[in-house]
Chains A and B, each alone.
Chain A
């Protein structure tokens, strides 16, 4: 996401907005005759399915790598060779791979455009774009006050999102346990762009002040002590009661899957937007596919 300008992001979001009716099922043949290859070397449900939906709803077709076991990859083929071969079968490649920087490598060798659907702990730019689309649609990107909550150390989505929000001058509050704070180089990067960044461990301190609560999952395996984990997990759990003093138009987002950090009863409140957020992955990925293989915006 570091290489995206605000103008480039805006043009993706504008195109996504114009394609949303197709994402909801209106027939389209914009990408008829085009083929998209899905190369997922790691498990994924929503990202893979939403790319597949995006391509098919635009009239295109999808070819799937399938499980890596039994394929040429299990015989030791390099990623470079794999994308060179698959690039001959399709008009674009979507890749998810456990190694950081793998999408960049793939783009160097592939004869067709490559979309990064997550490279290890590195980047997941289409998630960031759909997050921005959700914020723009359900709240606002200008003069935004947002709290990023949970695992800010390992969570790749929040790193990319914080960086992108800095392009819009957002006021960002980082809420995490001390051991899962956002890494210093990322904070320094945000400061250098003039972004206002506050840091706290106390979710209650900010919940009534922000326009967007962006929740992330705190993983049990990050804590050697299970007692400590359950204490921390409890203190970062959103319930209808904890939202009593929140702004009327507060929205709650989550990249999903959630575990305990948002109580199911929050789903019924007017604040919940995580399922819409998940759906917006389809128009955003449609926009990217159209830009890359359908003849631009």
Chain B
């Protein structure tokens, strides 16, 4: 504790640097677990994954960070996380060095990631199809179901498959 009673900020890193893999930075505070869900590594996985949530960020106020070791995420799988974390940056790490840095950018169509919010939509039945959403606007995100044309803007995280 310092003299004025406030807790001193620890100087050490909360999670140690990774040797190889992917670091997703600047995720909006509290969304890290949804990011993992979108990446399909929310359940049982062999990957070593570190999650840091709600750390101070000059840009976002609070941000989350996800580190996935020994796996270089492909652009198309990473871009989908722009649905809930539009400011996220992707760092590909090799031998502790950032060899590639990019921002996420939503593709024109999102397949099999978000289900339609319309309970009467054919995509919410047992038909052999995957949900398909067309991206109509990126900021704020506006999706439109390709089947029933119902828009989806708010609470996109609630509809992650």
- Interface residues in A115-139 (C-beta closer than 8 Å to B): 119-123
| B84 CB–A CB distance under 8 Å | no
Query: Distance (Å) between the CB of A211 and the closest chain B CB?
Result: 29
| A142 CB–B CB distance under 8 Å | no
A105 contact from B129, B150, B151, Cβ within 8 A: B129
Check if A79 sits within 8 Å of B151, measured CB to CB.
no
Check if B129 sits within 8 Å of A122, measured CB to CB.
no
- Interface residues in A51-103 (C-beta closer than 8 Å to B): 78-80, 97-102
Check if A101 sits within 8 Å of B126, measured CB to CB.
no
Query: Which residue in chain B gives the minimum CB-CB distance to A81?
Result: B128
Check if B151 sits within 8 Å of A101, measured CB to CB.
no
| B118 CB–A CB distance under 8 Å | yes
Given A120-B120, A185-B151, verify A101-B145 contact (CB < 8 Å).
yes
- Which among B122, B126, B128, B149 has the highest number of chain A CB atoms within 10 Å? B122
| B91 CB–A CB distance under 8 Å | no
Check if B121 sits within 8 Å of A101, measured CB to CB.
yes
B148 contact from A79, A101, A185, Cβ within 8 A: A101
Assign chain A's interface to a size class.
Answer: 10 to 19
B122 contact from A2, A105, A185, Cβ within 8 A: A105
- Which among A2, A101, A104 has the highest number of chain B CB atoms within 10 Å? A101
Q: Report chain A residues within 8 Å CB of B128.
A: 78, 80
Assign chain B's interface to a size class.
Answer: 10 to 19
Check if A105 sits within 8 Å of B120, measured CB to CB.
no
Given A104-B146, A120-B120, A122-B148, verify A99-B125 contact (CB < 8 Å).
yes
| A108 CB–B CB distance under 8 Å | yes
Q: Report chain B residues within 8 Å CB of A80.
A: 127-129
A102 contact from B122, B149, B150, B151, Cβ within 8 A: B122
Query: Distance (Å) between the CB of B147 and the closest chain A CB?
Result: 3
Given A2-B149, A122-B148, verify A100-B120 contact (CB < 8 Å).
yes
Query: Which residue in chain A gives the minimum CB-CB distance to B126?
Result: A78
| B79 CB–A CB distance under 8 Å | no
- Interface residues in B117-155 (C-beta closer than 8 Å to A): 118, 120-123, 125-129, 145-151
Would you mind naming 16 contact pairs between A and B with Cβ atoms under 8 Å apart?
A78-B127, A99-B121, A100-B120, A100-B121, A100-B147, A100-B148, A101-B122, A101-B123, A101-B148, A102-B147, A104-B146, A105-B122, A108-B129, A122-B148, A122-B149, A123-B149
Q: Write the residues of chain B forming the contact surface with A, with a CB cutoff of 8 angstroms.
A: 116, 118, 120-123, 125-129, 145-151
Q: Write the residues of chain A forming the contact surface with B, with a CB cutoff of 8 angstroms.
A: 2, 78-80, 97-102, 104-105, 108, 119-123, 185
Q: Given known contacts A97-B122, A99-B121, A100-B150, what 5 new A-B pairs fall within 8 Å (CB)?
A: A100-B147, A101-B145, A104-B146, A123-B149, A185-B151
List the 6 closest A-B pairs by CB distance, nearest first. A101-B147, A100-B148, A101-B148, A99-B122, A101-B122, A102-B122
